[in-house]
Amino acid sequence: MKALALFITVLLTVATHAQNTINNYKYVLVPERFDFFKTDNQYGLNTTTKLLLEDKGFTVVMGNEQLPPPLAANKCNALKAELTEKKGFFVTSLTLLLKDCQGNVIFKSKEGKSREKEWPAAYNEALRDAFSTLKSTPYNYDSTTVMQPQQATVAPAAPAAAPAPTPAAVTDITGILYAQATTNGYQLIDTTPKKVLTLLKTSMPDYFIAENGGLNGVVFKKNEEWMYEYYKDNNLVSQKLQIKF
């Protein structure tokens, strides 16, 4: 009888875990810095992770952004995005993990790989390769699912929050920037001439990793306009660029 009871308990535990899928979650938390990096949003990897998860249909909260009320009341309503790196010669390897509030792995991607020699291009290519697993995984949020909070006492609902964070007021970088081709992308030069930005190609057209000293971010085309976005003091800054290729 004891053996039968133990078997039933294990079976129910496995069944419960099996039912806990990404469809149970609307939100994903993305940190400002992944564990294997030394600086926030290094190579624009955290911003790219946020954009790829939003493309999948998740509502993503990054870093210290204000939490939506359902998430402020119970953080178990969100998955946490993590990246793990596998060290190797000549190959950059990343794996995407989505964990619940108890640390259980709800989703694990394949090992995304890149043989690019430049670190920014290599990490972004490996990230997108890893995300191909999530891209092919069906996702349809089930709003009827109620996740259990970490503590018995649920925190009181937060005051009504502002809408989901939006970029700061869009500003223009004054003047036309001229794109000069490089091995892995372009460098943008103003009329001085002075280099303003370095653009590194990604696997997506019209989407570049942008490097500008400590203000690394992304440059992409939106509504036929070039946009440069990056984080500064935990705030998302968005600027329009006039680029001549």
In a domain, 130, yes or no: yes
Tens digits of per-residue pLDDT, 35-87? 999 899 999 999 999 999 999 999 999 988 888 888 888 989 999 999 999 88
Between 39 and 213, whose confidence is greater?
39
Residue 157 in any domain: the answer is no
Residue 5, token pair as written in the block: 């009871």
Instruction: Tally the domains of the chain.
Output: 2
- Please tell me which residue, 15 or 5, carries the higher pLDDT value: 5
pLDDT band, very low/low/confident/very high, at 150 (cuts 50, 70, 90): low
- The C-alpha atoms of residue 49 and residue 94 are separated, in whole angstroms, by 12
Residue 221 belongs to what domain range?
171-244
Determine, yes or no, domain membership for 10: no
**Nearest alpha carbon to residue 172 among 222, 220, 227:** 227
- Same domain for 27 and 128, yes or no, is yes
Q: Can you read off the two tokens belonging to residue 153?
A: 């006492």
Name the domain boundary from 79, 112, 135: 135
- Choose one of 116, 135, 154: the last residue of a domain: 135
Q: What is the pLDDT of residue 12?
A: 40
Mean pLDDT of 187-191: 88
| More confidently predicted of 82 and 223 | 82
Per the DSSP assignment, residues forming a β-bridge with 230 are 217, 237
Query: Is there a single domain that holds both residue 198 and residue 113?
Result: no
**Pairing state of beta strands 105-108 and 92-99?**
antiparallel
pLDDT value at residue 17: 40
Taking 80 as the threshold, does the pLDDT of residue 19 lie above it?
A: no
Any domain includes 224: yes
Based on the fold, state whether residues 201 and 113 are members of the same structural domain.
no
pLDDT of residue 88: 80
Residue 105 lies in a domain: yes
Does 176 lie in the same domain as 131?
no
Least confident of 42-51, 140-149, 181-190: 140-149
Residue 157 pLDDT class (50, 70, 90 cuts) = low
pLDDT recorded at residue 18: 40
CATH code of the domain containing 35: 3.40.50
User: Where among 135, 161, 191 does a domain terminate?
Assistant: 135
Residue 13, φ and ψ in degrees, nearest 5:
-65, -45
104 domain-assigned: yes
What type of residue is 5?
A
pLDDT at res. 235: 82
**In this structure, is residue 131 part of a structural domain?**
yes
- Would you state the pLDDT for residue 30? 95
User: Is the same domain home to 184 and 89?
Assistant: no
Q: What is the mean pLDDT of residues 104-123?
A: 93
CA distance 104 to 20: 10
pLDDT value at residue 16:
39
Which segments of 24-131 are extended strands (E)?
27-30, 59-62, 78-86, 92-99, 105-108, 112-114
Does 140 fall in a domain?
A: no
What pLDDT sits at residue 223? 86
Domain co-membership, 119 together with 50: yes
Lowest mean pLDDT among 90-94, 110-114, 153-157, 192-196: 153-157
